[in-house]
Structure 1
Amino acid sequence: MLKVKNFKIGYDQKVIVKDFNIHVKKGEILTIIGPNGSGKSTVLKAIGRLLKPMDGIVHLDKKNLWEMKGKDIAKNMACLSQRNTAPEDMTIRKVVTFGRNPHKAWFEGINKEDEKIIDWAIEKTHLKDMENKKMIHISGGESQRVWIAMALAQQPKVLLLDEPTTYLDINNQIEILDLVKELNEKLNFTVIMVLHDLNQAAKYSDKVIVLKNGEIQALGKPEEILDKDLIRDVYHVDMNILKNQFGEKLIFIPKKIHGYNT
């Protein structure tokens, strides 16, 4: 589905990420985790063609991403950053409508087929009862659902989500991640996202990548790679690691923070 090979990424000749290689299968949820400054968001920007890598290549369905037209990429991949803004007096439905832009010529308006897709995106993100509300009148969690709805209206194959739960309370964090998981399971979307919370990464991901200082420290199923030694080395924290009541997912409970030079 999506392959990244030999990525080297940086700014102004300063290398931030190097030797980055992944293969994400169709329908997988892959989460990138790691300390602040480890290069998580930088990787996501490069995968989404928002930042040109110094070296390396991305293949989407065997096509070189950097040889594809912008509109063709937008039809296959939707990228949501940490902060997304829209005019405060714009309605939810109007924002979602922008998701159809990649499928339209510059002079084309919205037709009946577009309206059906917009209705579907609004329904899937549970926004139907508030679609005529203005953006200024909705909560942070509702706003995130609007941006995901706009991404769905693009009808992409891949969703890139950069810290989709940032600035949200725990209730809204769970709501957004449950929605992402629901869309992944019901619509077979491939999802690559950046998260900070280890418990959320373990619960919602098929695989995780652990980054430290711009290099991959581990890649695999959360229950197979996230152990005490790895977490201590990457985060400088001792953790109790438990199984949930079903014996399936991991639960991380911090014990002790170590100095960075230990």
Structure 2
Amino acid sequence: MASAQQQPPEIAVNDLTYSFPDNRTGVRGVSLRVPPRSRTLLIGANGAGKTTLLRLLAGKRLAPAGSISVSGVDPFKDGLEGVTYLGLEWVLNPIVRTDIGVGELLRSVGGDAFPARRDELVAVLDVDVAWRMHAVSDGERRRVQLAMGLVRPWSVLLLDEITVDLDVLSRAEFLAWLKRETDLRDCTVVYATHILDNLAGWPTHLVHMHLGTIREWGPAQDFLDRAAAAAAPGTGIGNSRLGELVLGWLRADLRDRGPRNQAKMGTEGLTYSQGGLGGYGLEDASKAK
């Protein structure tokens, strides 16, 4: 039988429900398939469940038996080699803020074993191997994280808001590199982000999450074609078409969810009034009586 590493880098999720130890539900009834060599954008408002889903796919949390398959195996039980998860918490590690050199860090993760990939990533991310980690910016520290995390060839890459600190050029170069990777190698990317600039033509698939569930998922072009057919003439061209699609999804999510505090506060606390940021202000209910 073929080993796990030889299986196509696809992701299958079947009726996945996961609750935290305090009984909060992280995701509920999630089912989807991410095909090999795809680039999937995971879209949703803050708290939609994107990070929870990514961490489950990475095997960092135990999912119910049979609910997740990554390259043909359970990522938690089998610890599949080749699955790489990169999130925001890395830069908070005190070790990566000490007086340590970038060259040392790259060697510590096997950079010398993959010199061509190491040098390519250093160039793409514009990393200076002479940097000392206590003396770099957050954006530069993020570039080092990406170089370290990706220097070993991966089959499934899970990215959680990882480009938030990058400047526009660095982010564009990095995303172009990821596209080349999936074009040239048998690998798959799932990328959760709120930043949609310069993503026209990048995603092959979209997954729309809302309150721990998946509202819709499928080939990106299908969604864009439907959005284009429904749009007014002359609107949403090129990159903005994806942006308008996602904005529409998030607006509908907000309408369906409703205000966060209205039901909780009632007439005794704060009430919403027109005005203020985003069309809503806050006033003391006791003064409104």
Q: TM-score range by the shorter chain?
A: 0.7 to 0.9
Mapping for residues 126-165 of structure 1, pairs under 5 Å:
126-127=122-123, 130-165=128-163
Q: Distance in 2 between matches of 1:138 and 1:28?
A: 33
Q: Distance in 1 between matches of 2:122 and 2:151?
A: 14
Q: Distance in 2 between matches of 1:201 and 1:211?
A: 19
Distance 1:3 1:28, change over 3 A: same
Task: Give the aligned partner of residue 16 of structure 2.
Answer: 7
SS at structure 2 position matched to 1:211 = strand
SS at structure 1 position matched to 2:164 = coil
Q: Distance in 2 between matches of 1:122 and 1:149?
A: 7
Q: State the structure with more CA Rg.
A: 2
Q: Which has the higher contact order (CA 8 A, sep 6+)?
A: 1
1:208 and 1:221 in contact (8 A); partners too: yes
1:27 and 1:190 in contact (8 A); partners too: yes
Task: Give the aligned partner of residue 32 of structure 1.
Answer: 42
Matched, 1:252 2:243: yes
Mapping for residues 4-153 of structure 1, pairs under 5 Å:
4-11=13-20, 12-53=22-63, 57-68=67-78, 70=79, 73=80, 75-85=81-91, 86-100=96-110, 115-117=112-114, 119-127=115-123, 130-153=128-151
Large movers: runs of 4+ above 6 Å: none
**Aligned match for 1:225, one of 218, 223, 226:** 223
What code does the residue aligned with 2:82 have? N
Task: Give the aligned partner of residue 235 of structure 1.
Answer: none
Q: CA deviation at 1:78?
A: 1.0
**Gaps (5+ residues) in structure 1?**
101-113, 229-239
Q: Distance in 1 between matches of 2:55 and 2:23?
A: 17
SS at structure 2 position matched to 1:133 = coil
Q: Distance in 2 between matches of 1:98 and 1:189?
A: 24
**Aligned match for 1:242, one of 233, 236, 249:** 236
Q: Distance in 2 between matches of 1:51 and 1:167?
A: 26
Q: CA deviation at 1:55?
A: 6.2
Q: CA deviation at 1:41?
A: 0.7
Q: TM-score, normalised by structure 1?
A: 0.74
What code does the residue aligned with 2:162 have? P
Q: CA deviation at 1:202?
A: 5.0
Q: TM-score, normalised by structure 2?
A: 0.68
Q: Distance in 1 between matches of 2:67 and 2:235?
A: 36
Task: Give the aligned partner of residue 237 of structure 1.
Answer: none
SS at structure 2 position matched to 1:161 = strand
Q: CA deviation at 1:56?
A: 5.0
Bigger drift between 150-159 and 138-147 goes to 138-147
SS at structure 2 position matched to 1:181 = helix
